[in-house]
Chain A
Amino acid sequence: MPSELHCFQASSAGIIDAVQAFDAFGRGHGLAREIISATQIALDEILSNTVKSNPASAARGSEEQTTISVSFAVTTGVLEVVIRDKGRPFDPLARPDPDTKAPLEDRPVGGLGIYLVKNLMDGVEYQRVDGENMLRMTKRIDH
C-alpha cells in the first residue's frame, strides 16, 4: 500500500507544511484536483482545531507534545489520512452541526470547519488510542 508518514509542528507553519505535503502526495499518486483540494481543506480544518485545542502544550510542552503526525495512504479506490497528536483528549466530531439554512442575521461566525470535513470526506472517525488523539479520514478516489 503506498503510504507516507510525516511529522509537523503544531503551529500555523506546520499546517502549511502538511497541506503542501499532501499536495505533493496527491499529485504523485495521480489524484484528481478536486480530491486534493477537498482533502487539503479537511487537513487544514483538523490541524487548525488541534493547534487551537492545545494552546498550553503548544507554548510550554515538550517537542513530542507539540508534534502532529500525519499519514497519507492510497489503497484500492480509497485515500486514507490519519492524524495523531498527544494533546489533551479532544473529539472534534462531538460538536453539533451548525444550521446551514439559517439567515445571515442568525448565522454565528465560526463553527463550520468540522461540518465541512464531515461533508468533504466520505468517512471521519475519532478515537483516543494509547494517550493519543487519532482522527481517521477516508475518501473514495475511484474515477
Chain B
Amino acid sequence: MSPLGRVDSNTSGDFERALMTREGEALLVIDLSGIDYISSAGLRVFLMLAKKMKGSGRRLVLCALAPSVEQVFTLAGFTALFTVKPSIDEALGRVSS
C-alpha cells in the first residue's frame, strides 16, 4: 500500500483503520514515499502493526522513507525494529528472493 500525506495526531486513526484491512496479509509492503512526516501518533500505529504481524509470523517491509520520516524512525530506534528498504523495487526484490 502507498499512503499519502502526513501521519500525525489528526490522521493516525484513519491510517490505522486502513492498515487493519490489510493486516491479515502474509506480507505487507508499505511504500512511504508519499508521507511528508510522521509524528508519535503515527509511530504508535506502526509499532502496533509490527507487534501484531510478528506475533503471527507475518512480514512487514517499509520502503522509500522521506528524510523527515527517516529521521523520526531513527530517533525512535525504529530502524532496528522494522525491515526498511530504500525503494519499492528493493522491497519487492527482497521479497521474491
Contact = CB atoms under 8 A, between A and B. Distances in A.
B47 A107 contact: yes
A5 interface: no
Chain A at the B interface: SS class? helix
Contacts of B81: 103-104, 107
Given A12-B10, A15-B10, A115-B75, A109 B48 contact: yes
A41 interface: yes
B18 interface: no
Contact of A116 (B36, B39, B80): B39
Contacts, number: 74
A105 B80 CA distance: 12
B75 A100 contact: yes
Interface in A37-51: 37-38, 40-41, 44-45, 47-48
Given A104-B81, A113-B40, A38 B71 contact: yes
A19 B34 CA distance: 18
A116 B72 contact: yes
Contacts of A60: none
Given A38-B71, A41-B72, A100-B77, A110 B40 contact: yes
Contacts of B10: 12, 15-16, 44
Given A15-B10, A44-B39, A104-B47, 17 more contacts: A12-B9, A15-B9, A19-B8, A34-B68, A34-B71, A37-B37, A38-B68, A40-B37, A41-B38, A41-B68, A48-B9, A48-B41, A100-B77, A112-B40, A113-B39, A116-B40, A119-B75
